[in-house]
Each structure stands twice: as C-alpha cells, then as structure tokens.
Amino acid sequence: MMDYFAHETAVVDMGCSIGKGTKIWHFSHIMPDCSIGDGCSIGQNVVVSPSVILGKNVKVQNNVSIYTGVVCEDDVFLGPSMVFTNVVNPRSAVNRRGTYAKTIVKKGASIGANATIVCGHDIGEFAFVGAGAVVTKTVPAYALVIGNPARQIGWMSEYGHRLEFNNEGEAICQESNEVYSLIDNKVNKK
C-alpha cells in the first residue's frame, strides 16, 4: 500500500523511494533511484531525475526539473519554473552523462520563480534566491541574492524576512522575534 499520493497522470518509475504523506501532482515524472522524503509536495509538470535526493517537507512548484546531481535538504522551497543545470559545458554531440556536477540546496533555503542555479554552486541554509536570479557562485547561509548574475544584497531570517543588523551586529526577525548575529560576514541564530 502506498503511503503517498500520486495523481493518475503522474508517472512514478520503479526503484524510487517516496516518503509518507508526499503528494505528486498532474503530469509529473518521478524517475528511478531518486529519493523523496516525507511530506513533500511535487507540483504539476515536475521531473525528478535518477539519483536526486529530496529531504522532508520539500515544496516543488510547477514546471521544475530537478536533474541528477541535485540534493535538496529538508524544508527547501523550489519556486515555479526555477531551473537547475547539471553540466557546465553542454553540447548536443558530446555525451557528458556521468560527469554531472553536484548542487546541494541546504535546509530551509528558498529559490524564487524562474531562478537558474548553475551546477556546482551550493545554496546555504535558509538562503533566499530572488525570482529570476541566475546563481553562478555558492550562496552563503541566510544570504539574500538577486539579479543576473546573482549578487548578495542582504540577509534573511529563517521565517523569510529581511534582517537589519544594528551597530552591535544583531538583528531581530519581525515575525519570530528570533535574534541573529552577524560576525565576520556570517549570520548565526542566537
């Protein structure tokens, strides 16, 4: 008996692992040897390629392809039509299968609609990639990045609010009231 829901139009290949309470919506394709954790939501027209790992409570919006080499830790949000790549120098006539670069999206990170993540660049814990950004280098934990190429313009709380640090290097999340510190260009929750 399945502990997850798959819409009748979804294709779920043999050999994948899907966690309890996960929902897979219209026209999505879950390929062999991938692992999807508990409580995930896979929107419509999503492809999860072989060997991809999605942690618990990952939210994948419509029209996202998650290619081999991508790992998303728990509580990651992937916005509508965002893009991962897995080869740095693709050519139609050159087979680069098996040379896929790895990309790790760390716990709690959010990637906005239509953003592109160039392979080999990790996204730090609770980082926030703005809509339409093109990530060409690693994004630090809690960083807010926007633009093409993506550049850091600030820091975000775990609740997704912009952090404003005072002269002592402390900021308070406006929703959670959690306190964060900024030391040596790194954010930590107190």
The percentage of residues in the chain with a pLDDT greater than 90, rounded to a whole number, is: 96
Average pLDDT, the chain: 97
Cα 128 to Cα 140: distance, rounded to the nearest angstrom = 10
187 shares a domain with 120: no
Q: Does 108 have pLDDT greater than 80?
A: yes
Residue 98 binned pLDDT confidence (cut-offs 50, 70, 90): confident
Overall average pLDDT of the 48-75 stretch: 98
**Do 151 and 61 reside in the same domain of the chain?**
yes
Reply yes or no on whether the pLDDT at 175 is more than 90. yes
> Based on the domain organization, do 168 and 151 belong to the same domain?
no
Q: Which domain holds residue 152?
A: 1-87+99-156
Q: Check residues 1 and 129 and name the one with the higher pLDDT.
A: 129
Residue 77 lies in a domain: yes
Q: Are residues 113 and 182 in the same domain?
A: no
Q: Tell whether 103 and 181 lie within a shared domain.
A: no
Q: What is the pLDDT of residue 152?
A: 98
Per residue in 131-153, is it b (16+ CB within 10 Å) or e — as a string? ebbbbeeebbbbbbbbeeebeee
CA Rg value for the chain: 17
pLDDT digits (tens, 9 = 90+) for 115-144: 999 999 999 999 999 999 999 999 999 999
pTM of the model as a whole: 0.96
Q: How many domains does the chain have?
A: 2
Q: Is the residue at 168 inside a domain? A: yes
Considering the domain architecture, whether residues 76 and 169 belong to the same structural domain is answered as: no
Q: Inform me whether the pLDDT recorded for 1 exceeds 70.
A: no
Query: Residues 106, 170: one domain?
Result: no
